[in-house]
Amino acid sequence: MATTTVPPAPPKKVNRIGLEVGDYRGNKTTLCAGCGHNAITERIIEAFYAMGVTPHRVVKLSGIGCSSKSPAYFLSASHGFNAVHGRMPSVATGSMLANRNLMAIGVSGDGDTASIGVGQFVHLMRRNLPVIYIIEDNGCYGLTKGQFSATADIGSKLKTGVVNDLPPIDTCALAIMLGATYVGRSFSGDKKQLLALIEGAIAHRGTAMLDVISPCVTFNDHEGSTKSYSYVKDHDEPIGDVSFIPFFEDITVDYDPGTTQDIMLHDGSHILLKKLGADYDPSNKAEALRVLTEAHDEGEIVTGLFYIDTQRPDFLGLLNLVDEPLATLPESRVRPPQEVLDAVMAELK
Ligand SMILES: Cc1ncc(C[n+]2csc(CCOP(=O)(O)OP(=O)(O)O)c2C)c(N)n1
Ligand code: SF4
Ligand SMILES: [Mg+2]
């Protein structure tokens, strides 16, 4: 009798810490099919897998909105906190102060960040807290049925025909002006650029703010919208080609230093920025703000890494915290001894 031999299953693909990509996934998405936010979730999963980040060292944070539901769909083994609308920055700050060994990733919406949460957002940016802050930017309040948000462009039209006549807040310009140290914009439909920018954000130490245009297929993807898939595809002007090389891989790419800039990040990884047109210096704040203003005036959407500063100390460094996380310090090290309390009381007498 003939016997059939079953070929052995191919070995499972794992990253440098032995985990499969599935270990970086979360629950099945409940967002609309085709929502840009789902594509961003996929890139976050790929980036954390590629970098070999230990999931239980990560804390995922968000506010309220369709975008803010996204952390449920990636990194199921990480810590998570779904905060109040627009208040994710305070929870991120508290988490990192309590445990400096964590890596924080916050996902917000344009409404969550630029409308109700703008007060919290600006203070997070000026502190340069080590956090990856992603805005899933669809120019509307998706969860509450598509009203304009504060990032909607002048002249953009709702499905009902209502035209937006207020200027948008450019969250990238705001973040650069205030002190964030890694600032970029991308498009949920640009897999390569978005993945490289998220990997770079993981390697950066300080606030990494990425505004990702992420079309809302249900309420803001029609003709007349400036955040629809077709509008963004037609008006996307990358300032350079972004590539990322993690610290655990050798740089083997051959490039002409005249056309490509090599920026070394905190952990020894590299971001390579290849010129596409005119010279662009991502360490020059004024230049970054000029490019963003010009793009607005011309109705273009510039994407890429606009600004990076690898030298500015982050908020935890500025506070001079002890190396051991505050959350794990024993009571004997956080409670002042009796003599110190007695001395304070004596001073008050
Ligand atoms: C304090 C408070 N005010 C208002 C709301 C109603 N609300 C829920 S989500 C949302 C806006 C969401 O827009 P955005 O952050 O852009 O997320 P998207 O759904 O577009 O991804 C609003 C106004 C709320 N939940 N809490
Ligand atoms: S309503 Fe819009 S933003 Fe919300 S899940 Fe659907 S497509 Fe995405
Ligand atoms: Mg929105």
Q: Is the CB of 217 under 6 A from ligand 2?
A: yes
The reported pLDDT for the residue numbered 66 is 98
Specify whether the CB–CB gap between 47 and 198 falls below 8 A.
yes
The reported pLDDT for the residue numbered 247 is 96
The span from the CA of 299 to the CA of 23, in Å, is 41
Q: Which residues of the chain have pLDDT under 50?
A: none
- The closest residue, in CA terms, to atom 4 on ligand 1 is 85
The span from the CA of 206 to the CA of 315, in Å, is 8
Return the ligand number nearest the Cα of 87. Answer: 1
Span 223-251, pLDDT tens digits: 999 999 999 999 999 999 999 999 999 87
CA distances from 2 to 5, 9, 342 (A): 10, 22, 90
The span from the CA of 227 to the CA of 112, in Å, is 17
The span from the CA of 167 to the CA of 76, in Å, is 38
The reported pLDDT for the residue numbered 5 is 85
The span from the CA of 71 to the CA of 41, in Å, is 8
Span 208-228, pLDDT tens digits: 999 999 999 999 999 999 999
The reported pLDDT for the residue numbered 257 is 67
Q: What's the gap in Å between 279 CA and the centre of ligand 1?
A: 39
Return the ligand number nearest the Cα of 108. Answer: 1
Dihedral angle, C-alpha 180, 182, 183, 189, nearest 10 °:
-140
The span from the CA of 94 to the CA of 41, in Å, is 24
Q: Is the CB of 35 under 6 A from ligand 2?
A: yes
SS (H, E, C) the chain: CCCCCCCCCCCCCCCCCCCCHHHHECCCCCCCCCCHHHHHHHHHHHHHHHHCCCHHHEEEEECCCHHHHHHHHECCCCEEEECCCCCHHHHHHHHHHHCCCCEEEEEEEHHHHHCCCHHHHHHHHHHCCCEEEEEEECCEECCCCCEECCCCCCCCECCCCCECCCCCCCHHHHHHHHCCCEEEEEECCCHHHHHHHHHHHHHCCCEEEEEEECCCCCCCCCCCCCCCHHHHHHHEEECEEEEEECCCCCCCCCCCCCCEEEEECCCCCEEEEEECCCCCCCCCHHHHHHHHHHHHHHCCEEEEEEEECCCCCCHHHHCCCCCCCHHHCCHHHHCCCHHHHHHHHHHHC
Distance of CA 221 to the CA centre of its chain: 23
The reported pLDDT for the residue numbered 58 is 98
The reported pLDDT for the residue numbered 29 is 98
The reported pLDDT for the residue numbered 1 is 62
Of 140, 213, 216, 225, the residue with max ligand 2 atoms within 8 A of its CB, to mutate for a pocket test, comes to 216
